[in-house]
Amino acid sequence: MPMSKFSAILSFTLVILLAFTLQIFIFSPISPVPLQIPAAAFPTFPPTSYDLQRVVKLGEGLLDKPEDVCFDKEGMLYTATRDGWIKRMHKNGSWEDWKRIGGDALLGITPTITGGVLVCDAEKGLFKVCDDGITLVASHVNGSKIRYADDVIEASDGTVYFSAASTKYGLEETFLDLLEARPHGQLLKYDPISQEISVLIDGLWFANGVALSKEEDFLVVCETWRHRCLKHWLKGKNKGETEVFVDNLPGGPDNINLAPDGSYWIALLKLTSDGLEFVHTSTTLKRLLASYPSLLPHFTALNKKATAVNVAADGRIISRLDDPDGTVISFMTSALEYEDHLYVGSLNTNFVGKLALNKE
């Protein structure tokens, strides 16, 4: 090979390597830190089951990725769908396209004490939806736009608690927040009297599901990237303090809902394909994935299984339900107990799942 041709090939190769290096280390959209994904859960964690493969499909074909569900006082089922609708199922089983907020970013939903529902729009903020119309309740906190409203719960006195999953990345950039692995999330509080919004907890690793205790003396907020949930005391001698409620979960906790007996149902996400957990400890590999998102389908496992765990008020694991290979349902994001049945939402289905619970 002539020296001039060899030099040209070498120069071209060096330019490509330099561009590749600059793209990963200089122009990367993230500034990542290592994240330890739990390799195993509690030694006594319940074994995998196939219970979720028995779900009855409600509204099949009518619902576009129903992320969360709730019931009102009359027993009507509500869900927010990815096509911008709040849809509800009447007690006779018929579905209604009730109210349309629009967009494709509706997430957590909860009933209100005065009627209607509160719903999180990841892009616009927190809405109240009732028969009379739609009202934007919160879009900013401390002068900054709420970038990623995620889940919401209302206390008996009308105080509203809701999560902002990330203050840096939006819904379409969720994978960047995961790869960066920094605590950008917040737990927010809305005071219905003063109509003020404040930050209750800052620095959360993707603040997700929110639920009150049965006595409303504490609330629980899920940190998806840390595979744990935190307890924040609202009353008593520990008021204002935050502690770990449950950790080392076998998946990233998404939405959490209080059960009638005072326990909680938590939907868990499989964030990473088996054997690839090490990627989270390598900032170089994470920069590579962030720069070339077409590689992500080989890395994530959200659509490969579904899991929900029942956790006691003291953080003790009671039971688990699974569809271990995603045969019927996967990417399950919520689990709500109502009248001895579990109702589940998912970002990979066109139905709400209903499962009879064994109460023996």
Mean pLDDT for each 10-residue chunk of the chain (360 residues)?
A: 54 48 68 83 75 98 98 97 98 97 98 97 98 97 97 98 98 96 98 97 98 98 97 97 96 97 97 88 90 84 94 96 97 98 98 88
pLDDT for position 16: 46
Question: Which CATH number do you get for residue 202?
Answer: 2.120.10.30
pLDDT for position 292: 85
Residue 214, domain member (yes or no): yes
Q: Going by C-beta distance under 8 Å and a sequence separation of 6 or more, which residues neighbour residue 55?
A: 328, 329, 344, 353, 354, 355
Structure tokens given for 241 = 């303090």
* Pairwise CA distance, residues 165 & 143, whole Å: 17
* Pairwise CA distance, residues 290 & 27, whole Å: 10
CB 99 within 8 A of CB 85: yes
pLDDT for position 261: 97
Residue 3, domain member (yes or no): no
CB 236 within 8 A of CB 207: no
* Residue 315 burial class via C-beta count within 10 angstroms: exposed 0-12, middle 13-18, buried 19 and up: middle
pLDDT for position 45: 77
Helix axes 283-291, 3-25, angle to 10 degrees: 100
Neighbours of 140 (CB within 10 A): 10
Residue 339, domain member (yes or no): yes
Residue 78, domain member (yes or no): yes
Structure tokens given for 133 = 């119309």
* Pairwise CA distance, residues 113 & 32, whole Å: 42
Please compute, for residue 194, the number of CA atoms within 13 A of its CA located in the half-sphere on the CB side: 6
Residue 17, domain member (yes or no): no
CA distances from 297 to 37, 147, 304 (A): 18, 25, 11
Nearest residue to 123 via CA among 104, 100, 108: 104
pLDDT for position 354: 98
Prediction pTM value: 0.92
Residue 304, domain member (yes or no): yes
pLDDT for position 42: 53
Q: Helices H, strands E: what count in the chain?
A: 3, 26
Domain that holds residue 81: 31-113+198-356
Provide the domain count of the chain: 1
Nearest residue to 108 via CA among 8, 178, 200, 208: 208
Residue 21, domain member (yes or no): no
Q: Going by C-beta distance under 8 Å and a sequence separation of 6 or more, which residues neighbour residue 227?
A: 37, 38, 247, 248, 249, 250, 251, 252, 253
Residue 188, domain member (yes or no): no
Q: DSSP 3-state assignment of 178?
A: helix
